[in-house]
Amino acid sequence: MLPATASRVENATSEDLNRRFAAEIEESLRHHAEHPEHIAHRLDELDHEWDIERTLEANAATLALTGTLLGAFVDRRFLILPAVVTGFLLQHALQGWCPPVPVFRRLGIRTTAEIDRERAALKALRGDFGRIEAISTEANPRQRAHAALEAAER
C-alpha cells in the first residue's frame, strides 16, 4: 500500500531529522512569540522557502537535461542518466524516498507540510484566526467561510 501523499517524505525520514525540524519550528514560534513584529517577515520567508518536492524537481530536471544533452552531443551512454533520474522520481512519487531525499533533508530542506505547520502556527500567534472566532457561530455561513478564507490567505 502506498503512503499518504502529505506524510510520505516525513515517514521516509529518520526520526532524528523529523525531531530536528519539529524543534526548529518550536524555536521559531518561541522567538516570534517574544518578537511578534518579526512574524510578517518570517511568513514572507516561508512563502519563498523551497520544499523538498521543488528541490527534487529542480535537481532531477537539471540532471535529466544534462544527461540528454551529453547523450545527444558527446556519447550516447550518457542517456543512462535521465533514465536513472526518472526512475528515482517514480520511486519518490510512490514511496516518498529516493537517493537524494536523505541528502536534501540533512541540508535542511523541509516538506510542504512542515513549512505549512510553521506558517499556520505563526498566523495563529499573530491572531489571524481570532477573526473567525469573533464571528458568531449563528452568523451567516458565508460570512464565517469568508472570514476563514481571509485568515488562511493572510
* Residues 78-124 pLDDT 10s: 999 999 999 999 999 999 999 999 999 999 999 999 999 999 999 99
Residue 85 lies in a domain: yes
**pTM, full prediction:** 0.89
What does the mean pLDDT of the chain come to?
Answer: 93
pLDDT in tens, 59-82: 999 999 999 999 999 999 999 999
- Tally the domains of the chain: 1
Residue 131 lies in a domain: no
Classify residue 74: in a domain, yes or no. yes
Please give the Cα distance from 63 to 6 (Å, whole number): 26
21 CB neighbour count, 10 Å cutoff:
20
Task: Tell me, yes or no, whether 102 lies in a domain.
Answer: yes
Domain that holds residue 99: 5-115
Beta strands in 1-154 (DSSP E): none
- 154: cell is 493572510
Distance of CA 85 to the CA centre of its chain: 21
Angstrom distances, CA of residue 146 to CA of 23, 27, 123, 140: 33, 32, 17, 10
